[in-house]
Amino acid sequence: MEYRIRRATLEDRAALEQLIAESARGLSRGDYSGEQIEAAIASVFGVDTDLIHDGTYYVAEAGDEPIGCGGWSKRRTLFGGDRFAARDSGYLDPSTEPAKIRAFFVHPDWARRGVAAAILETCEREVKTEGFRSLELMATLPGVPFYAARGYVAGGQVEYEIADGVNIQFVPMRKELSGSS
């Protein structure tokens, strides 16, 4: 493996914000306009420090450079970094509510090389250990095929206003876990 995965720390935040912006700009152009991408970077895409504090956010590194990030949450917030206003950081009940897969981004130079899949496998293992029976996420349009290939089922496309007059489309997805504890 050319990279390693570790838990993110608060010291990673600036580098991860840069990675997220590079990922969005480099991998979303076929699905979103430049205006949508920039508005999403300014308001929705970003680091959620709750995930770092909870120890459920990961960084994939090649050398000392972050090349991917993503995590899972035991909190109610479905998507959005610290700058996103619509957040509910209350805790979920693993016996009745799905864990959330959150904030997956990969550097464009590392796309389709297994980075996101390795992080997702780490998250799914931990979610099972914590007693969750299912997962849900809010996929960006370019992320839908990735998650669908890993057993996530798409709901209908939804649209959010992320800046004055700028809307963006996402797709809610869900996966039932087999062999959950």
Q: What is the pLDDT of residue 1?
A: 58
Quick: pLDDT tens for 122-159: 999 999 999 999 999 999 999 999 999 999 999 999 99
Cα atoms in the Cβ-side hemisphere of radius 13 Å centred on 158 = 13
How many structural domains are present in the chain? 1
Residue 125 lies in a domain: yes
Model confidence pLDDT, tens digit, residues 12-41: 999 999 999 999 999 999 999 999 999 999
Residue 68 in contact with residue 1, Cβ under 8 Å? no
The answer as to whether 101 is a domain residue is: yes
Task: Tell me whether residue 153 is in a domain.
Answer: yes
- pLDDT bin (cut points 50, 70, 90) of residue 84 is very low
Residue 9 lies in a domain: yes
Instruction: For residue 122, tell me if it sits in a domain.
Output: yes
pTM over 0.85: yes
List the domain range (segments joined by +) for residue 160.
4-176
Of 42, 53, 60, which Cα lies nearest the Cα of 77? 53
Q: Is residue 181 part of a domain?
A: no
Mean pLDDT, rounded, of the chain: 92
Phi, psi at residue 19, to the nearest 5°?
Answer: -60, -45
What CATH number should be reported for the domain holding residue 139? 3.40.630.30
User: Would strands 153-154 and 134-140 be described as parallel, antiparallel, or unpaired?
Assistant: unpaired
